[in-house]
Amino acid sequence: MAGPGASEVAEMMAGVPYFDGLSDKTRKAIAKEGRVISYEAGRTIVDEGGAGVGFYLVLEGKVEVRKSGRVLATLGKGQFFGEMSVIDGQPRSADVVAVTATQCWVLVSWSFAGLLKGHPEIALPMIKELVKRLRAAQSAPAS
């Protein structure tokens, strides 16, 4: 089944903080670098401990980040996951499961590195989001 094309993905990216400062043309070029993948509710997208080269941006739907049966975070439209393994090459730190029908734009690690090198202005809002997640993790009750 055909998913959204690069133009539609670029339009969705226009509403995402990491990409909203870019021109339409740049967003479209970036959108073409990745592919759109759909997941049914209940599907595990990322497996804790597994190897992974994909960075995921949620275009539609909702996912849960789960570790040892605990929900660490719920992420939705415009939010990303999978960046940790893409950045350091280590195994996936948690499961990420689609809780509703979900559509993601997926970028492989070498394209992700190229994206940040070519458009470093994307990095700061991403780092801010990571800091926010770290603060939330620090204030979460110990398991």
Q: Give the nearest distance from C-beta 136 to ligand CMP in angstroms.
A: 6
Distance CA 18, CA 41 (A): 26
- Per rule CB under 6 A, is residue 72 in the interface with ligand CMP? yes
Q: Which of 16, 46, 98, 122 binds ligand CMP (CB under 6 A)?
A: 46
Position 133 contacts ligand CMP (CB under 6 A): yes
Please report, as a single letter, which amino acid is at residue 110: W
59 counts as binding ligand CMP under rule CB under 6 A:
no
Q: Residue 29 or residue 84: which is nearer to ligand CMP going by CB? A: 84
Per DSSP, the residues of 10-74 read: HHHHTTSTTTTTS-HHHHHHHHHHSEEEEE-TT-EEE-TTS---EEEEEEESEEEEEETTEEEEE
Residue 52 makes contact with ligand CMP by CB under 6 A: yes
Element (H, E) at 84: helix 83-88
Given candidates 29, 37, 53, 84, which one binds ligand CMP under the rule CB under 6 A? 84
Q: Which stretch binds ligand CMP (CB under 6 A): 20-28, 30-38, 82-90, 119-127?
A: 82-90
Angle between helices 6-13 and 24-33 (to 10 degrees): 120
The nearer residue to ligand CMP, 2 or 142, going by C-beta atoms, is 142
- The two three-digit tokens of residue 122, written as one number: 């994307």
The DSSP secondary-structure symbol of 129 reads H
Q: Which of 30, 65, 98, 104 binds ligand CMP (CB under 6 A)?
A: 65
* Site residues (vs ligand CMP, CB under 6 A): 46, 52, 65, 72-73, 81-85, 92-94, 96, 133, 137
